[in-house]
Amino acid sequence: MKQLASYGAVWCGVASAIIVFIVEIILCSKKIIFAGIEKKIEQARQKGNVIKGYRVNCRFNDRYPEEKTANRMWIASYKYELNGKEREYQVVSTSVEPSLSINLYYTNSKKVFSEYNVGKNPLQILLYIIPVLVAFVIMMLMGYNFKN
């Protein structure tokens, strides 16, 4: 009977993880969490802080171990001028070859960013970790024994 009750704890933990994950997806789609770069791009557009960058160099690496051309990682360098100084911006793309010119945005006069930065937040791993942690906490609170 005790083992049967513990399965209920497992299913409650799984259900809570699914609910937390769905809530996270909704918050991401409404740009409430992990939308920092999109908001910065919109602010820069509103202020007119947009400059053009022109590609000066582009190379690729075939990704290992497959060594297939469809699985390339593109690295492109762009030159741009900001406040009278010529600078360089690098883009890494795993999907397609970067374009010949891109829009670069800035909020201060030192650091620029582009649409290539969208979705590259290392903290997004929390979207997967938090539901698992919630499931474990719910299971522990319901008395599930992890030792068996």
Length of the chain: 148
Q: Look at strands 101-106 and 112-113 and give their pairing.
A: antiparallel
The percentage of residues in the chain with a pLDDT greater than 70, rounded to a whole number, is 84
**What pLDDT, on the 0 to 100 scale, is given for residue 130?**
93
pLDDT of residue 70: 61
Residues of the chain with pLDDT under 70: 1-6, 35, 63-71, 109, 118-121, 148
Give me the pLDDT at residue 36, please: 72
Give the model's pLDDT for residue 63. Answer: 65
At 24, list the tokens: 């996270």
> pLDDT at position 132, please?
94
CA–CA separation, 24 vs 32, rounded Å?
A: 9
Please report, for the chain, the start and end positions of each structural domain, with discontinuous segments joined by +: 1-34+121-148, 35-120
Q: How would you list the strands of the sheet with 85-93, edge to edge?
A: 85-93, 72-82, 50-62, 101-106, 112-113
For residues 51-80, b (16+ Cβ closer than 10 Å) or e, as one string? eebebeebeeeeeeeeeeeeebebebbbeb
Confidence (pLDDT) at 10:
84
Which pTM does this prediction carry? Answer: 0.59
- Separation between Cα atoms, residue 138 and residue 14, nearest integer Å: 9
